[in-house]
Amino acid sequence: MYKLQSQEVYSEDERIRNMIKEVESSLFSSIEDLLKSQRNNIGSGNTAEVHHHDTNPGICMKIISEQVLLDRFDGVLPPFNSLSVEIDFMNRAAEHSGIVKTPQAYGHDIFEDEEGNKVHVLFMERLNAVSIRDIHNNLASLPKNFDMGLFFAELQKFLENLNEAHVYHGDIAEGNIMIDLETGHPRLIDFGKSKLVFSSEKPEHSDISDLKRVRRLLENKVNSLTNSGK
Ligand SMILES: Nc1ncnc2c1ncn2[C@@H]1O[C@H](COP(=O)(O)OP(=O)(O)O)[C@@H](O)[C@H]1O
Ligand SMILES: [Mg+2]
């Protein structure tokens, strides 16, 4: 059985606050089942599983279980930003959003079981979007109005603006870039490895060169689909 160890709710929206409260009260007993079941699972990454809310599909929960990570990484927790830091980066990025958008963060919880294992839960807006990784793995298709040149130009401009504000996303990869299904515009998620970097330091990764790799991956995918007549 888990107990709630800490909680922050940022949303001012009464409906969302109530919904988070309702989820929290059911999560104590259901986290383990939730993590085991694929029901409502809308994506997984290296650290987290993302589930949409049962009755409100517009809300999703990014769930990081320390026990799952310890099992996956041979007993050593990999570095990841605490969810309050991740949310801080989501909010910083949102200040620069225009055509490129990031999900709105609603709050986060830490649950803990008797053995001290923690489960971190981030509540956020669920995007109506597909990841480039899902497209690459044939789990989703490109929206009809997708414009490759414009998409990557907009994303690059967005990242350059963030970098200028000392924010480095730090994990520009196919699983963290999504395409809005309605507009075809870029959506950037997962600030779990983001950092503030000041000019005297050099970031380990360049967001812009990582973006170029993702673009090549998607271009190769589109070419292979075109050549196979799909
Ligand atoms: N706000 C969101 N709306 C819709 N899908 C999401 C959202 N956030 C994450 N996802 C899906 O869940 C997957 C894992 O989320 P992510 O934050 O990248 O976790 P990790 O830190 O483990 O990489 C993403 O690749 C994406 O498919
Ligand atoms: Mg990710």
Are 14 and 106 found together in one domain? yes
Rounded to the nearest angstrom, the distance between the alpha carbon of 4 and the centre of ligand 2 is 25
88, 103, 125 — which closes off a domain? 125
The ligand whose atoms approach the alpha carbon of 178 most closely is 1
pTM: predicted TM-score of the whole model, two decimal places? 0.94
Q: Which range has the worst mean pLDDT, 38-47, 52-61, 141-150, 163-172?
A: 52-61
pLDDT at residue 202 is higher than 80? no
Nearest C-alpha to atom 12 of ligand 1 is from which residue?
43
C-alpha 216/C-alpha 42 separation (Å) is: 25
Are 104 and 157 found together in one domain? no
Cβ–Cβ under 8 Å, residues 207 and 170? yes
Residue 21, domain extent: 3-125
125, 158, 184 — which closes off a domain? 125
Are 147 and 212 found together in one domain? yes
Cβ of 175 closer than 6 Å to ligand 1, yes or no, is yes
Are 96 and 192 found together in one domain? no
pLDDT, mean of residues 35-54: 87
84, 104, 125 — which closes off a domain? 125
Assign residue 28 the CATH number of its domain: 3.30.200
Report how many domains make up the chain: 2
Give the strands of the sheet with 129-131, arranged side by side: 129-131, 177-180, 186-188
The pLDDT of residue 230 is 64
Are 116 and 48 found together in one domain? yes
Q: Hey, which of 40, 122, 178 would you mutate to test ligand 1's pocket, going by the most ligand atoms within 8 Å of its Cβ? A: 178
Nearest C-alpha to atom 1 of ligand 1 is from which residue?
126
Are 112 and 160 found together in one domain? no
Are 113 and 148 found together in one domain? no
Are 45 and 22 found together in one domain? yes
pLDDT, tens digit, 9 for 90 and up, residues 108-126: 999 998 888 899 999 999 9
Strands 195-196 and 105-112: unpaired
Tell me which of 114 and 184 has the higher pLDDT.
184
Atom nearest to 46 CA in ligand 1: 22
C-alpha 60/C-alpha 15 separation (Å) is: 14
C-alpha 166/C-alpha 52 separation (Å) is: 32
pLDDT, tens digit, 9 for 90 and up, residues 14-30: 988 988 888 887 777 77
pLDDT at residue 82 is higher than 90? yes
pLDDT at residue 184 is higher than 90? yes
The ligand whose atoms approach the alpha carbon of 188 most closely is 1
Cβ of 170 closer than 6 Å to ligand 1, yes or no, is no
Round the average pLDDT of the chain to a whole number and report it: 92
pLDDT, mean of residues 45-62: 89
The pLDDT of residue 118 is 92
The ligand whose atoms approach the alpha carbon of 171 most closely is 2
> Cβ-count burial of 3 within 10 angstroms (0-12 exposed, 13-18 middle, 19+ buried)?
exposed
Rounded to the nearest angstrom, the distance between the alpha carbon of 43 and the centre of ligand 2 is 9
pLDDT at residue 37 is higher than 90? no
Cβ of 142 closer than 6 Å to ligand 1, yes or no, is no
Are 80 and 144 found together in one domain? no
Assign residue 221 the CATH number of its domain: 1.10.510.10
Are 51 and 114 found together in one domain? yes
State what percent of residues in the chain have pLDDT above 70. Answer: 100
The pLDDT of residue 22 is 82
